[in-house]
Amino acid sequence: MEHPPPPPPPGPPPLTAASGPSKKKLYQAIAAGKTPVEGDHAEARLLLSQRESSFRKDLQWMLFNKYVPSLIQDGPQCGLVALWMAGHLLQPPLSVSVETVVQTAMDRGYTAQGEMFSASDMAMLAEEVCGCRAELLSGGMSGDNSTAVLKHLADGQPVLIPYDEDFNHEPCQRTGHRAHWAVASGVLLGLDQDSVSREHTQPDPTLPWLLLPQDSPSCPCPTVGAREAYILAKQGKSLRYQLWSLDKVAQSNAQLREIDPQRAGDSTQYVVPKGGVEVGLAGQVVLVHTGGQTK
């Protein structure tokens, strides 16, 4: 009597869409294995070429940027990841891991889950883990503070900025319910024609309408009188640079007033300063001085 043939071996499990955590780990793996971009302007140049039609043709555009690497955050670590990215512009670059940054913040009582609702705490943490001077700028990102931010970026130094993050990572206004941190590492300035000395600039090799500063410490920063200004920033939910209007970022930064009620009521412990998110974040940024190590 013949026996029936054995059943075929089971096939591979069906492919399923990546869930939230596994998808996050995938992006983290991609970021970890991503080859660093060559030069400060390559990634920014690609972004500008895609948006070329949105820039006024009657202005002279000038780009300043210092490349920072990407890192995808694991949980609510946006501020700590932004600080880690900023640390790569130190001289010499920051050599500690993001895990060390997170642990230091927890040890100092600045955070419970990785969140950072205090720009003042962020400045103190930056000084400790980076060994540099960190300047807390308050009173908003307009007027004299706008000039200070633009000059700091044009000098090749990063700025840590809290803002409300929209679903496409752009700044929005949600009264702080989507509070997030980014690191700005560059600035795009729209200037009056012939207002920039060609002695200190050079045309971009692929975008003829764009000027780049020459590699010279004497290159003056034409931030005063800029007609339009955009910042180049990275944050912990994307591998790519973002280009944001300075005015839009300033408006988002100024209206951070309260923690998301859903987050406040989810029984998770967070470190929120006395006076809440408005006291901790609204109208505040942190200027990281890369050349002024204190260690």
Rounded distance, CA 80 to CA 197, Å? 38
C-alpha distances (whole Å) from 8 to each of 3, 4, 15, 294 are 15, 12, 20, 68
For the chain, count helices (H), then strands (E).
9, 10
Rounded distance, CA 274 to CA 271, Å? 10
Q: Closest Cα partner for 22 from 98, 69, 76, 74?
A: 74
Which of 78, 130, 172, 219 is the catalytic position? 78
Report CA 205 to chain centroid distance, whole Å. 26
- Residue pair 184/153 in contact (Cβ under 8 Å)? The answer is yes
pLDDT 10s digits, 6-20: 655 554 444 333 334
Rounded distance, CA 190 to CA 8, Å? 68
Domains of the chain are 38-289 (3.90.70.10)
Rounded distance, CA 89 to CA 152, Å? 13
Q: Tell me: cis bond preceding 92? Omega within 30 of 0 counts.
A: yes
Catalytic site includes residue 172 = no
- DSSP helix, strand, coil percent of the chain (3-state; round to 5): 30, 20, 50
Q: What is the pTM of this model?
A: 0.86
DSSP-derived letter for residue 196 is S
CA within 13 Å, CB half, 174 = 18
Q: Render each residue's pLDDT in the chain as its tens digit; 295 residues.
A: 555 666 555 544 443 333 344 444 544 544 555 555 568 999 999 999 999 999 999 999 999 999 999 999 999 999 999 999 999 999 889 999 999 999 999 999 999 999 999 999 999 999 999 999 999 999 999 999 999 999 999 999 999 999 999 999 999 999 999 999 999 999 999 999 878 877 889 999 999 999 999 875 556 667 667 899 999 999 999 999 999 999 999 999 999 999 999 888 888 999 999 999 999 999 999 999 998 555 4
